[in-house]
Amino acid sequence: MKIKYLLLLILSIGWFTQANAQMKFYHEAENVYQAGQYYKAVDLFRDAYDKIRGQEIKAEIVFKIAECYRKTGQPRKAELWYNKAISKEYDNPVIYLHHANALKTNEEFEQAIESYQEYQKRQPEDLRGEMGIKSCRKAKKWIENPNGYKVSRLRYLNSTSDDYCPVYSKAEYNEIYFTSSREEASGDEKNGATGQHFSDLFYSQQDMSGRWSEPEPLSNQINTEVEEGAATFTGDYNTMYFTRCEVDRKEKLGCRIFRTQKSNGEWQKPEPISIAPDSMVVAHPSISDDGSTLYFVSNIPGGQGKMDIWKVSRKGDKGWGEPVNLGDRINTPGNEMFPFIHPDGALYFSSDYHLGMGGLDIFKATVQSNGQYQVKNMRYPINSTHDDFGIVFEDNKERGHFSSSREGDDEIFSFVLPPLKFSVQGTVKEKKSEEPLENTTVKLVGSDGMTMSAKTGEDGQFKFMLRPETDYVFVASKKNYLTNKGKASTVGLEESKVFEPEIMLSSIEEPIELPNIYYDFNKWTLRDESKEALNNLIETLNDNPRVVIELRAHTDFRGKHWANVELSTKRAESVVNYLIDHGINPERLKAKGFAATQPKKVDQNLAAQHDFLEQGDVLSEAFIKNLKNEEQKEIAHQINRRTEFKVISTDFKP
């Protein structure tokens, strides 16, 4: 059991009762369970199970054992006991929701989806079934496509107990305070919910080599026999706020925020700050650098759900004002906890309800121009299918620390986002043969004004380093070839990337066929599906403003020659008219119809597409008539029916 669950005990439901005399064993276990001592409750429920006969109550006990394991962060055992409860036909639909959550935490996503669907079927009005299914699919996607952060477990800081909620305690970021229930914590008693000591605040310092020192507890001015943790500092690091949860006679926890100041290098006696009634949970403080605004977690009335994030501001010397709920963009019907207010104004927090990977996920909230928060999941590997929470950053750097239960107990991890690196490793090829073109000039033009040039080598490759948030065009040019270009953009990219464009250059020494130019039968009107190829030709002409081209249309040999001449001429003219209508200077365009006088010569690509053709074949009337069947003949006719252009001049001047 961890502090994030201990804070929720105030919301626990009423005790289950039954009249059977032998139920005293169950009642004893139930009383401990309702007090939040889940670690103790497991053994008591197991003992009660052996002494009770009724199958219905046995199913209830098995479910409660599963719940104890869920609430103490043991998803493998929870999954096992939920399976047992389902096999005993435990009739509360919530079992399928909790079973699905355990499966998701264990990364058994397909089985989890099945359990979410079963819950959805039984409780269609509850959105948690649908959200669980979406969460599984998101988790799989994010794990397969991590966001670039590098995450490492800090073995120097972690123990065999829970260690969590790191926070920097010096401006140099070389000292960390954190919460731990390790053996060195104050007090001899152990928490019945966790089997561990009540947590205390510890600190560790980093040496010049980056190694963290053996953690030491803070003085007994701060640490007591009850729970302390989740600290935060003002910008000068001389004022600290932290959470203290005290146990009352019923062994429930009441949590308050305490404030202490440093004098002569020592923390003075902390005093509680008055924000809400003592019966409410007030915990997880995060103070703004100037100390004027305190963010915290509470279940005070007026919230959106169970635990909400609130803020309160100082009113000069008059103390703190009234708490303000951060609203439904941040808070949900679930639990929002562990806020961290970044110096740049962004709010980081954890939630078990916003769409995430599972358990508690870490989210980033930024205020938009309309004053509303935009909330984004920090994704994998910052988040996992376990609980991830308590994140802190080093000022404006994309590095820091956070807590996670992904390896069992709560532990402290470091994270860093390496600088994004973008580059292009492109290749220039001859379009028809697809062979690399060496000694081609490639000019890079960036939207930021940067220009660079490079020559391709024998492999036809060129390389450039690129900048973030920039659009690029790569213009390839070579003598006796039409200039062409490739594009790339780093705008909005959140991960490093190597672009690998291929730029195809067409030789101007022979006709260039325009693919996918279609006309209706025996007509010269261009069909709509032809326009994409023609638009590409327009772009080519704009990239090569000094060329003059001749548009050439060809038909097959069937029909009257004079009719085919007229048809092919008008088809070529249709293409010219389209180009003129789209801004191409008519002086750069000639049209000519060749009918069937220039049958197609089979090149390497055509030979590869059709096994009855060989490179070098000429699809003349005689050749086609000698083909084996009508299907082959029709293919040959279709190849001959084509539209091409030929560069006839490269020195056009407007």
Band (pLDDT 50/70/90 cuts) for residue 155 is confident
Each residue of 53-71: b (16+ CB within 10 Å) or e? eeeebbbbbbbbbbbbbbb
Domain boundary among 98, 127, 144: 144
The mean predicted confidence, pLDDT, of the chain is: 88
Res. 19: pLDDT tops 60:
no
Q: Of 18-27, 223-232, 322-331, 431-440, give the lowest mean pLDDT range.
A: 18-27
Phi, psi of 583 (to 5 degrees): 95, 5
pLDDT at residue 2, rounded to an integer? 52
Do residues 556 and 605 both lie within one domain? yes
**Rounded-to-10 torsion of CA 533, 536, 540, 541:** 80
Do residues 277 and 379 both lie within one domain? yes
The verdict on residue 654 lying in a domain is no
Higher pLDDT, 146 or 280: 146
Domain boundary among 395, 416, 437: 416
Higher pLDDT, 290 or 464: 464
- Whichever domain contains 478, its CATH number is 2.60.40.1120
Share of the chain above pLDDT 70, in %: 95
Give the mean model confidence (pLDDT) for residues 190-197. Answer: 75
Res. 14: pLDDT tops 60:
no
Name the 3-class secondary structure at 389.
strand
Q: Residues 95-135: pLDDT tens digits?
A: 999 999 999 999 999 999 999 999 999 999 998 999 999 99
Give the mean model confidence (pLDDT) for residues 273-302. Answer: 89
Band (pLDDT 50/70/90 cuts) for residue 22 is low
CA-to-CA distance for 453 and 464, rounded, in angstroms?
Answer: 9
Do residues 266 and 396 both lie within one domain? yes
Do 152 and 414 meet the contact criterion of CB atoms below 8 Å apart?
yes
Do residues 21 and 134 both lie within one domain? yes
- Whichever domain contains 102, its CATH number is 1.25.40.10
Band (pLDDT 50/70/90 cuts) for residue 193 is low
Q: What is the domain count for the chain?
A: 4
Do residues 467 and 518 both lie within one domain? no
Res. 8: pLDDT tops 60:
no
pLDDT at residue 315, rounded to an integer? 76
Band (pLDDT 50/70/90 cuts) for residue 36 is confident
Give the mean model confidence (pLDDT) for residues 398-403. Answer: 94
Res. 190: pLDDT tops 80:
no
Q: Side chain identity at 303, as an amino acid letter?
A: G
Residue ranges making up the domain that contains 564: 512-649
Do residues 114 and 202 both lie within one domain? no
- Name the helix (H) or strand (E) containing 153: strand 150-153
pLDDT at residue 12, rounded to an integer? 38
Do residues 374 and 486 both lie within one domain? no
CA-to-CA distance for 241 and 267, rounded, in angstroms?
Answer: 11
Band (pLDDT 50/70/90 cuts) for residue 604 is confident
Do residues 102 and 226 both lie within one domain? no
The verdict on residue 630 lying in a domain is yes
Domain boundary among 122, 144, 166: 144
Residue 450, token pair as written in the block: 């940067």
- Whichever domain contains 155, its CATH number is 2.120.10.30
Angle of CA points 527, 533, 539, to nearest 5°? 130
The verdict on residue 211 lying in a domain is yes
Phi, psi of 387 (to 5 degrees): -85, 130
By C-alpha distance, which of 337, 324, 335 is closest to 283?
337
**Most confidently modeled range among 486-490, 517-521, 571-575:** 486-490
Res. 43: pLDDT tops 90:
no
Do residues 488 and 533 both lie within one domain? no
Q: What is the DSSP letter of 131?
A: H
Res. 4: pLDDT tops 70:
no
Do residues 635 and 488 both lie within one domain? no
pLDDT at residue 98, rounded to an integer? 94
| SS3 readout for 567-595 | HHHHHHHHHHHHHHHCCCCHHHEEEEECC
pLDDT at residue 249, rounded to an integer? 45
Res. 3: pLDDT tops 60:
no
Angle between helices 561-581 and 531-543 in degrees, nearest 10 = 60
Give the mean model confidence (pLDDT) for residues 629-639. Answer: 91
- Whichever domain contains 578, its CATH number is 3.30.1330.60
Residues linked to residue 474 through DSSP beta bridges, in sequence order: 444, 486
Q: Side chain identity at 308, as an amino acid letter?
A: D
By C-alpha distance, which of 160, 162, 195, 196 is closest to 178?
162
Task: Find out whether the peptide bond into 381 is cis, omega within 30 degrees of 0.
Answer: yes
The verdict on residue 190 lying in a domain is yes
pLDDT at residue 1, rounded to an integer? 42
Res. 16: pLDDT tops 60:
no
Do residues 295 and 397 both lie within one domain? yes
pLDDT at residue 520, rounded to an integer? 67
pLDDT at residue 17, rounded to an integer? 40
Give the mean model confidence (pLDDT) for residues 48-66. Answer: 85
Q: Residues 306-353: pLDDT tens digits?
A: 899 999 998 777 788 899 999 999 999 999 999 999 998 999 999 999
Do residues 233 and 372 both lie within one domain? yes
Give the mean model confidence (pLDDT) for residues 610-616. Answer: 93
Do 199 and 246 meet the contact criterion of CB atoms below 8 Å apart?
no
Q: Residues 532-565: pLDDT tens digits?
A: 888 989 999 988 999 999 999 999 999 899 999 9
Band (pLDDT 50/70/90 cuts) for residue 6 is very low
pLDDT at residue 330, rounded to an integer? 95
Share of the chain above pLDDT 90, in %: 61
Band (pLDDT 50/70/90 cuts) for residue 170 is very high
Band (pLDDT 50/70/90 cuts) for residue 438 is very high
Helices marked H in 462-588: 531-543, 561-581
Q: For residue 618, what are the CA distances in angstroms to 511, 592, 607, 637?
A: 15, 21, 12, 12
What pTM did the predictor assign?
0.70
pLDDT at residue 650, rounded to an integer? 87
pLDDT at residue 202, rounded to an integer? 96
Q: Of 236-250, 299-313, 373-387, 409-423, give the lowest mean pLDDT range.
A: 236-250
Give the mean model confidence (pLDDT) for residues 374-383. Answer: 95
Long-range contacts of 314-321 (CB under 8 A, 24+ apart): 319/274, 320/273, 320/274, 320/275, 320/294
Name the 3-class secondary structure at 521.
coil
Q: Residues 492-538: pLDDT tens digits?
A: 887 889 999 999 999 998 898 888 786 766 778 787 778 888 898 99
Count of residues in the chain: 654
CA-to-CA distance for 358 and 507, rounded, in angstroms?
Answer: 57
Give the mean model confidence (pLDDT) for residues 202-212. Answer: 91
* Cα 41 from chain centre: 38
CA-to-CA distance for 466 and 279, rounded, in angstroms?
Answer: 58
Res. 395: pLDDT tops 90:
no
Do 639 and 619 meet the contact criterion of CB atoms below 8 Å apart?
yes
